[in-house]
Amino acid sequence: LSLVGSEMCIRDSPDRVVFEAINEPGVNTTTFTSAKLMELQEKVLEIVRKTSETRKLMVATGSNNSVRAIENITQNLINDKNVIAAVHCYWPMSFTHQGASWIKNDDGTLKYPGGVKYTAAAKAEVESAIKICKDFSEKNNMAVWLGEALRGKQNQLVLLGV
Contact by Cβ (8 Å): 123, 95: no
Q: What's the Cα-to-Cα distance from 44 to each of 56, 60, 76, 126, rounded to whole Å?
A: 12, 12, 12, 31
Among the options 7, 24, 39, 46, which is catalytic? 24
Which position among 7, 42, 125, 148 bears the catalytic label?
Answer: 148
24 is catalytic: yes
N- to C-terminal Cα distance for the chain? Answer: 42
Residues 148, 79, 22, 2: what is their CA dihedral angle, to the nearest 10 degrees?
150
Please give the full DSSP string across 44-99, using - where no structure is assigned. HHHHHHHH-SS--EEEE-STTTBGGGGGGS-HHHHH-TTEEEEEE---SHHHHTTT
Residue 39: active-site member: no
Compute the chain's Rg from CA coordinates: 18
The residues annotated as belonging to the active site are: 24, 148
